[in-house]
Amino acid sequence: MVLTLIAIWVYFLFFNTNLGPGDKFADLDFANTDDPSAEIDPEVFNNGDEPVVDVSAYSPIRQLTTKPVAGFQHLEDTASTTPKILYIEAGTGHIFSIDLLTGQEKRISATTIPVAKRGVVTPDGRFVMVQSGFSDNADFSISEIDQESNILNPVTTLKGVVSFSPTLNNTFLYAVREGSRVVGKQYYPISQLSEDLFTIPFNEVTIDWGETALEPHHVYPKPHSQLEGYVYEIADGAFARLPIAGMGVSAKGNEEIVLSSIQDSGGIVSSLYTKELGSNDAFVAPLLPEKCAGLREEPNFICAIPEAQLGASTPDDWYQGTRVYNDNFWQINSLQNELVYKVDVSEETGRELDVINPVVDSYDKTIYFQNKNDLTLWAYDFYQ
């Protein structure tokens, strides 16, 4: 029996010719199965730019990417260009451009940034800041996008950054931890210079950045349902406490108003603070300010408000990923302290979207956001 098995093994090893050097399976000796009548659409296998957004059938809510996104930036149209959105692919750091009129997608940077987690792009589409890695080992690289050669030209790399954002002036605002405090800075990528803006006397901080270094910034401790927090405003380097406080406080604001939420009596309570009047009025609906984006022309907000009740463990369970929300869009008119229903997202899209990182374009017509469930990029035309 042993000799028989050895003989079979020697035969297959040295004498069987059915397997060529490139074959992966045995030759089953089938006849030629090519179908000469089959037609292949070359557009399906196009290696160039591909339309990824269906622009033929308009929908107010539409998915812009199937890839997970680390960051994005809407670019305004000019006399020689059409409106585009740039996005940074999560994990690779590759940068893509989507023409919002044609749906064509183009990769404008193939430079790999390992473990790209979060990124931002300046409004002119020229510079990018990307977080690579996690926690204290993370690098924060600032680069210039070279669209002719499809690469990123390194500018500088920062460490210890806890928060960052682009400005309308095409600079970067960022905050770094220095011992028990956090220092806010502005970086000028063209001159490669930075300047200190303010100091926060605690380091576990969340920063709601203004659109420029001179606009008010709102800061508060990282929210937790069992920890009391306070909201502070930083303007012209001055640090002032606002009359907004409570357990698990979070906020979103601008020069005129601040929208905030706290944990109270086993649920979320939201309010609107008007700076000129000094009034902090309870709001009609509980919400998470992180799901809101302010308009530019009016002191109003577009908010994604969950259908589910925001209970005693909010926002902890949402931050930890153990709770997923199904959001609908509403508009907050601050002067009237009213909530206007805009759209049922799941009915419009057939999917449940958990909205994060919402940003309104400069025309106050479209809000861009990500779905927390898969980090894909979406757009909603709320002004029609």
Asked which of 137, 168, 203 is the last residue of a domain, the reply is 203
Do 186 and 262 lie in one domain? The reply is no
**How many domains does the chain contain in total?**
2
Residue 48: predicted pLDDT: 46
Do 233 and 377 lie in one domain? The reply is yes
Q: Is residue 319 part of a domain?
A: yes
Give 244's contacts (C-beta < 8 A, 6+ positions apart).
Answer: 230, 231, 251, 258, 260, 271, 273, 280
Q: Is residue 43 part of a domain?
A: no
Do 162 and 239 lie in one domain? The reply is no
Do 148 and 89 lie in one domain? The reply is yes
Do 197 and 238 lie in one domain? The reply is no
Residue 338: predicted pLDDT: 86
Q: Is residue 243 part of a domain?
A: yes
| CB neighbour class for 52 (10 Å; exposed up to 12, middle 13-18, buried from 19) | middle
Tens digits of residue pLDDT in 112-163: 999 999 999 999 999 999 999 988 889 999 999 998 888 999 999 999 999 9
Q: Is residue 188 part of a domain?
A: yes
Q: Is residue 212 part of a domain?
A: no
Do 151 and 99 lie in one domain? The reply is yes
List the chain pLDDT tens, one digit each, 384 residues: 888 888 887 776 666 544 444 444 444 444 444 444 444 344 433 344 556 676 666 789 999 999 999 999 999 877 677 889 999 999 999 999 999 989 999 999 999 999 999 999 999 999 999 999 988 889 999 999 998 888 999 999 999 999 999 999 999 999 999 999 999 999 999 999 999 999 999 989 999 999 999 999 999 999 999 999 999 999 988 889 999 999 999 999 999 999 999 999 889 999 999 998 888 888 878 999 999 999 988 888 999 999 998 999 999 999 999 999 999 999 998 878 788 999 999 999 999 999 999 999 988 999 999 999 999 999 999 986
Residue 144: predicted pLDDT: 97
Residue 34: predicted pLDDT: 46
Looking up residue 81, the CATH number of its domain turns out to be 2.120.10.80
Asked which of 203, 236, 265 is the last residue of a domain, the reply is 203
Number of CB atoms found within 10 A of residue 369's CB: 26
Do 185 and 231 lie in one domain? The reply is no
pTM to 2 decimal places: 0.84
Give 160's contacts (C-beta < 8 A, 6+ positions apart).
Answer: 136, 176, 177, 178
Do 136 and 237 lie in one domain? The reply is no
Do 240 and 347 lie in one domain? The reply is yes
Which amino acid, one-letter code, is at 352? Answer: E
Residue 75: predicted pLDDT: 93
Residue 139: predicted pLDDT: 96
Residue 97: predicted pLDDT: 96
Residues 106, 109, 111: CA angle, nearest 5 degrees: 145
Do 193 and 129 lie in one domain? The reply is yes
Residue 86: predicted pLDDT: 97
What residue numbers bound the domain in which 382 lies?
222-384
Q: Is residue 292 part of a domain?
A: yes
Q: Is residue 31 part of a domain?
A: no
Which amino acid, one-letter code, is at 346? Answer: S
Q: Is residue 44 part of a domain?
A: no
Do 177 and 276 lie in one domain? The reply is no
Closest CA relative to residue 198, chosen from 163, 166, 170:
163
Looking up residue 343, the CATH number of its domain turns out to be 2.130.10.150
Decide if 136 contacts 147 (C-beta within 8 A): no
Residue 51: predicted pLDDT: 61
Do 369 and 226 lie in one domain? The reply is yes
